Homo-oligomer: A and B are copies of this chain.
Amino acid sequence: MDLFVASGFTKQTLNLFLLFVLIIIFCINIPVAEARIQRYKWEVKYEFKSPDCFRKLVITINGRTPGRTIVAEQNDTIIVELKNSLLTENVAIHWHGIRQIGTPWFDGTEGVTQCPILPGQTFTYEFVVDRPGTYLYHAHYGMQREAGLYGSIRVSSKEPEPFTYDFDKTIILNDWYHKSTYEQATGLSAIPFQWVGEPQSLLMNGRGRYNCSLLTGTSTEVASLCNATNPECSPFALTVVPGKTYRLRISSLTALSALSFQIEAHNMTVVEADGHYVEPFVVQNLFIYSGETYSVLIKTDQSPSRNYWTTTNVVSRNATSPPGLAIINYYPNHPSRQPPTIPPPGPLWSDIAPRYNQSQAIKARQGFVIPPPLTADRMIVFLNTQNTVNGQYRWSVNNISLNLPHTPYLISLKNNLHHAFDQTPPPVGYDYKNYNIYNVSANKNATTSSGIYRLQFNSTVDIILQNANTMTENNSETHPWHFHGHDFWVLGYGEGKFDMYNDPKKYNLVNPIMKNTVPVHKYGWTALRFLADNPGAWAFHCHIESHFYMGMGVVFAEGIDRLGRLPSSIMGCVRH
């Protein structure tokens, strides 16, 4: 009897044990295969740096600007423990192009998805990079992005990609000002308005070159401020092996400038835009707007006896900023060896046609087309104008200039804090009939509001970005619009005023590219379609730092009732 009982018990135990082992193996395998976790510890603080040889205060991540590239694989979970070591200043970091499905509270947009992170605090961002592609990260609070707080995210694919390459490299473009963001912001809000002007330099991977001889002062003063031999501003050199194919991930986080990017003697084949495969096309000049990312393939098929210039130039504005210079360093030449040629000039800044053409050339790659819904549930037209509000210069959408509230929308929507923002939704269009987009507006006055657009969950929404004349006669500006939490289909671009009856007939519903950032060209329009399928509150705004600061943005909300409990970590600024 004892033996029987003991034996029975043993068998049962053994079975349970085997089952347990199987479960353990299963559990261990799942995370390895599907949910690799990448953990980063970042310290954010002010340091003196000389990215373009001019010494100024910048915000660094672990001592660097730009911060290190986050290199991940599709479906990885990224955990960033961000310690704010700024003295008196808060911070928030946006993961640009990551849709934050299920984690809208980690989108990093102060005033929209989270309270800012206080000095001394550590905030943990945790999100999944669910799709391969090229993405970015940067501050999304005040104008901190242009203080140097940015970097890129590279997500590799688990599936075979539709193109091959030997090496994968990242080049992040930026423009650079010598004045502090405080000085800039104070000027932008001042009466009379003080414009930030054109940037002093263009940077590639955080390096540029300001001409120190432009500075006045004694030689000692100039030397302490600007040192052309500082290694921090030696040109970025990309060392390449001859005869290979390189994937270059080119992105832009300029504060203001639209750019052209070119590599001397090398064509570029565009294969990716904002995380989506592009039907390949070849360019000599890649036009890129703030917030966009592209992958291009280049072949290192030129004479390996020398190095080649890589240049970037301002387009769309008659800028004073000198071109940015970097070097394609053919191994075994020395990386600092100057190419024997004059750097190739960029395209004519005022020539719109090539930029228009490139925008229209970007289509989804065959075999990777995500077909858009053929019709939309609603259409919203956003007229982009420059205005004044109580004597201040502002940018507006349908004559409303966005004032971000300090209680983030996500929190006030979830917790029904109706007092926290204007409950009147902003207009869904403008006076199409009478507004002349080619003239300075007859009525320059706009109003500020914190009102938002509430979208029905899972509805299909069309957005028409309609450009217009600024407050200066015969002037319109290119605006790169960036959407948080979504990609949109780019259905079309056009010149002049959008024709609601005829232009939709020309939409590309066959193979439109999906993007998260798109330009609206001067005096033109851009038509977008998206699915409101991501519960949360999401900013959609001009990615020019000063324009968003001056109110050029809107906020959408959808599916708030589907959200679970918000993490308390995002609520530091909400009174109890």
Contact = CB atoms under 8 A, between A and B. Distances in A.
A186 B119 contact: no
Interface string A115-134: 11011110000000000000
Contacts of A186: 46-48, 57
Contact of A121 (B47, B89, B406): B406
Interface in A519-576: 568-569, 572-573, 575-576
Contacts of A119: 90, 116, 406
A449 to B, nearest CB: 16
Contact of A118 (B57, B142, B181, B573): B573
A146 to B, nearest CB: 12
Contacts of A116: 88, 118-119
Contact of A180 (B182, B185, B569): B182
A218 interface: yes
Given A90-B88, A572-B573, A46 B182 contact: yes
Interface in A357-416: 405-406
Contacts of A88: 89-91, 116, 141-142, 144
Contacts of A185: 46, 87
Contacts of A569: 575
Contacts of A576: 568
A143 interface: yes
Nearest to A406: B120
Nearest to A216: B217
Contacts of A118: 90, 115-116, 118, 406, 572-573
A137 B479 CA distance: 45
A186 B187 CA distance: 24
Contacts of A216: 216-218, 221
A190 interface: yes
A183 interface: yes
Given A57-B182, A143-B87, A406-B118, A568 B573 contact: no
Nearest to A141: B88
Interface in A233-256: none
Contacts of A141: 88
Contacts of A90: 88-90, 118-119
A244 B104 CA distance: 69
Interface in A185-234: 185-187, 190, 216-218, 221
Nearest to A142: B88
Contacts of A190: 47-48
B121 A573 contact: yes
Interface string A86-102: 01111100000000000
A419 to B, nearest CB: 13
A141 B218 CA distance: 35
A220 B89 CA distance: 33
Contacts of A46: 182, 185-186
A186 B46 CA distance: 7
Of A88, A181, A185, most B-chain CB atoms within 10 Å: A88
A218 B259 CA distance: 31
Nearest to A187: B48
B57 A183 contact: yes
Contacts of A573: 118, 120-121, 572
Nearest to A185: B87
A218 B214 CA distance: 11
Contacts of A406: 118-121
Nearest to A88: B142
Interface in A313-357: none
A409 to B, nearest CB: 13
A334 to B, nearest CB: 31
A121 B116 CA distance: 12
Interface in A67-89: 87-89
A47 B405 CA distance: 21
Contacts of A218: 216
A407 B373 CA distance: 52
Interface string A274-302: 00000000000000000000000000000
A79 B103 CA distance: 41
Interface in A34-52: 46-48
A432 to B, nearest CB: 36
A217 B190 CA distance: 25
Of A91, A406, A569, most B-chain CB atoms within 10 Å: A406
B182 A87 contact: yes
A180 B185 CA distance: 15
A190 to B, nearest CB: 7
Given A119-B406, A568-B576, 20 more contacts: A46-B182, A47-B186, A47-B190, A48-B186, A48-B187, A57-B182, A87-B181, A87-B182, A90-B118, A116-B118, A116-B119, A120-B405, A121-B406, A121-B573, A180-B180, A216-B217, A216-B218, A217-B217, A572-B572, A572-B575
18 contacts: A47-B190, A48-B186, A48-B190, A57-B180, A57-B182, A87-B182, A87-B185, A88-B90, A88-B116, A89-B89, A90-B90, A90-B118, A116-B119, A118-B573, A120-B573, A568-B576, A569-B575, A572-B575
